[in-house]
Amino acid sequence: MEIIRSQRKPVHIDVVPTLPLYRSAPPLEVRLEDFELYAMDRLRVLKGIADGLSRGKKSEEMKNLADHLWKANMRHLDASEVVNKDIISHFVLRLVYCRTEDLRKWFLSMETNLFRYRLLFEKAEVQRALMAEFDLPYRAASNAELESVKEGLKQVAQSFGQPLAADAIFYKVPFEEVPELVAGRRVFIHKGYAYIAMNQVVSLVSTQFRSHLSKALILTNRKWTSTIREQEKDRLTPIVEALCSSYLGPDYSQPREFAEISIKDIDQIAKSSFPLCMRHLFEKLREDHHLKHGGRMQLGLFLKGVGLKLEDALAFWKAEFSQRVGSERFDKEYAYSIRHNYGREGKRTDYTPYSCQKIITSAPGVGDHHGCPYRHFSEENLRAALGKMGISNRAVEDVMDKVRNRHYQLACTLTFEAVHGTSCDAGINHPNQYFSDSQKVLQSKNQSTV
């Protein structure tokens, strides 16, 4: 892929597959502007998918959501350009997301999902053609083979409430190739082979897609660190790094499942569901009736994400600040910025609740209380804070161990687990995620005790 400053000559790709597999970087020239714009558009799609998944949407809904996102963001005025945009944006994001394990993981999972949903929209011929393109060593099971396992195939079909069509085609593949289908008991498995119905082929191809991409990302990462970053330090590198420093996990700027908390509950909720960073700010605010700018932003945006409405937010901050600076000064100096936090949609980096990554890399100065306690507290203070949360000595030791190894988010995850008595497999990536996961746990506990 060659990136040029401006005007581009039209380039034609000889074979235009209906669904690119992104096997190798295309011989395309890309304008610098498109480089960034295309990437942003694709990112919106991926982010939308991530968001849908985290809201627990069902696969049918997800398929429609993905289709909708794709159509909304990946169109191009020039029809012949559509495929190029697809390919270019994918390769740009590869560069953006190859650089750390976490980024790779997120990208891998979202791209695979996207691929799968798009594939589901394709017709059977296209799906079959893709099978061929992947060069999978699987073959349709012969009639004799099918005959011998017919009973099992029938039972599996029935377990989905479907009859087994007499002429159904099944592929025979090693079970390791289709972990998802195995996990859901959605296939008949015999002597190490899974019998995959044609409509399940999609899962198979997606797995393949995933593993190709996973390897490719590692290679891209090597190229990035060894040459590209340095070579492109005046041109692409800043763009790539900027694309990435904006928080790219789920968007917490809009309150989600647990929309609307009210001021009267806030103390209780802070106690039960705030991560340590927010709990600390919250307590400091209650104690000092003041927070410096960094703390106001970190806590304020978090509260917005949690579902505190603007009027309530104003009342909440005012109740504290006015004790210190008087309500007049509050209205004059502070109210504006709170409104502002709630106001904008456009410049999302500024008004999105901070992610862990952002908080951990912030640099609180004297008198500041923001930042991540696991990173910014002294060992002593951190121990005391954890003790106050009612965490057992053993768990505290485990947490401190992670802290010593500078795995702050893991430390926070362990804290979450100790507090809630459940595991948190996804790990903590965002204070608002901590909050919503916590609420989920508490709600399910409540429901089951009713």
Partner 1 sequence: MTKEEIENGTADMEIDQRELMNGERSELNAVPDGFNANYLKVYYGKLFPHADIFKWMSYGNDGKHPGCDESYFGRREFSFTLDNDIYLRFQSFNSVSQLENSIKEKCPFKIDIGPVYSVDPAKRHAYAQSGNNVFTPVEKELVFDIDMTDYDDVRYCCSGADVCLKCWTLMTIAIKVIDPALRDDFGFNHILWVYSGRRGVHCWVCDPKARRLTNEQRSSIAEYFRVYKGNENSQKKVSLTSSALHPFLLRSYKVLEEFFEGNLLSNQSLFSTEERYEKILEMIPDESITSELRGKWQDNKKSSISKENINVDRWKHVKKILKSGKQKGQGLGKCVEEIVFSFSYPRLDMEVSKHMNHLLKAPFCIHPKTGRVCVPIDPNHCEEFDPTAVPTLSKLLEEINMGGLGTDDDAEWDRTSLGKSIRFFRSSFLQPLLKSCKEEIENSYNAKLQHSKTSLTW
386 lies in the site for ligand SF4, by CB under 6 A: no
- The smaller minimum CB distance to partner 1, of residues 82 and 146, is found at 146
190 lies in the site for partner 1, by CB under 8 A: yes
Contact string 158-187 vs ligand SF4 (x = CB under 6 A): ------------------------------
- The smaller minimum CB distance to partner 1, of residues 152 and 427, is found at 152
Amino acid at 4: I
Are 114 and 46 spatial neighbours (Cβ–Cβ below 8 Å)?
A: yes
Q: How many residues bind partner 1 (CB under 8 A)?
A: 25
One residue of 155, 226, 246, 254 binding partner 1 per CB under 8 A? 155
One residue of 269, 313, 338, 412 binding ligand SF4 per CB under 6 A? 412
Residue 81: CB minimum distance to partner 1, A? 37
Q: How many residues bind ligand SF4 (CB under 6 A)?
A: 15
One residue of 106, 209, 374, 377 binding ligand SF4 per CB under 6 A? 374
183 lies in the site for partner 1, by CB under 8 A: yes
151 lies in the site for partner 1, by CB under 8 A: yes
277 lies in the site for ligand SF4, by CB under 6 A: yes
Helix (H) or strand (E) holding 139: strand 139-140
Is 244 labelled as part of a ligand binding site?
no
- The smaller minimum CB distance to partner 1, of residues 10 and 161, is found at 161
One residue of 55, 185, 332, 406 binding partner 1 per CB under 8 A? 185
Are 344 and 351 spatial neighbours (Cβ–Cβ below 8 Å)?
A: yes
Contact string 296-315 vs ligand SF4 (x = CB under 6 A): --------------------
- The Cα–Cα gap between 134 and 394 comes to 50
| Encoded tokens for 29 | 């020239």
Determine phi and psi for 26, rounding to 5 degrees.
-75, 155
Work out what residue 158 binds among partner 1, ligand SF4, none; the CB cut-off runs from 5 to 8 Å by kind.
partner 1
- The smaller minimum CB distance to ligand SF4, of residues 115 and 274, is found at 274
- Looking only at residues 52 through 111 of this chain, which bind ligand SF4 when binding is defined by CB under 6 A? none
Place of tokens 């190709």: 212
Helix (H) or strand (E) holding 4: strand 2-4
15 CB contacts (<8 Å, ≥6 apart)?
Answer: none
State the alpha helices, DSSP H only, in 333-430. Answer: 335-343, 348-351, 356-360, 373-376, 379-388, 393-404, 408-420
Instruction: Give the torsion sign (CA, 18, 20, 21, 24).
Output: positive
180 CB contacts (<8 Å, ≥6 apart)?
Answer: 186, 203, 207
One residue of 112, 220, 273, 409 binding ligand SF4 per CB under 6 A? 409
Identify which of 165, 139, 137, 136 has the alpha carbon closest to the alpha carbon of residue 153.
Answer: 165
| Encoded tokens for 406 | 């500078």
Identify which of 99, 100, 118 has the alpha carbon closest to the alpha carbon of residue 21.
Answer: 118
Residue 50: CB minimum distance to partner 1, A? 19
What are the residues facing 308 on neighbouring strands?
261
Identify which of 114, 122, 167, 160 has the alpha carbon closest to the alpha carbon of residue 141.
Answer: 167
One residue of 59, 142, 159, 254 binding partner 1 per CB under 8 A? 159
56 lies in the site for partner 1, by CB under 8 A: no
Cα 140 to the center of its chain, rounded Å? 36
Residue 405: CB minimum distance to ligand SF4, A? 14
Residue 355: CB minimum distance to partner 1, A? 24
Work out what residue 428 binds among ligand SF4, partner 1, none; the CB cut-off runs from 5 to 8 Å by kind.
ligand SF4
- The smaller minimum CB distance to partner 1, of residues 24 and 449, is found at 449
- The Cα–Cα gap between 378 and 374 comes to 9
Phi-psi region of 228 (alpha: psi -120 to 50; beta: other; left: phi over 0): alpha
Work out what residue 434 binds among partner 1, ligand SF4, none; the CB cut-off runs from 5 to 8 Å by kind.
ligand SF4
What does 225-243 look like in DSSP terms, one character per residue?
A: IIIIHHHTTTTHHHHHHHH
- Looking only at residues 389 through 408 of this chain, which bind partner 1 when binding is defined by CB under 8 A? none
Instruction: Indicate the pairing of strand 29-31 with strand 170-174.
Output: unpaired
- Looking only at residues 419 through 448 of this chain, which bind ligand SF4 when binding is defined by CB under 6 A? 428, 431, 434
One residue of 26, 275, 294, 307 binding ligand SF4 per CB under 6 A? 275
- The smaller minimum CB distance to ligand SF4, of residues 178 and 360, is found at 360
CB-based contacts of 153-160 (< 8 A; 24+ apart in sequence): 153/188, 153/195, 155/188, 156/185, 156/186, 156/187, 156/188, 159/185, 160/186
- The smaller minimum CB distance to partner 1, of residues 38 and 170, is found at 170
Chain positions contacting ligand SF4, by CB under 6 A: 275-277, 356, 359-360, 372-374, 408-409, 412, 428, 431, 434
Chain positions contacting partner 1, by CB under 8 A: 151-152, 155-156, 158-161, 175-176, 179-180, 182-185, 188-193, 445, 448-449
User: Which residues are annotated binding-site positions?
Assistant: 277, 356, 372, 412
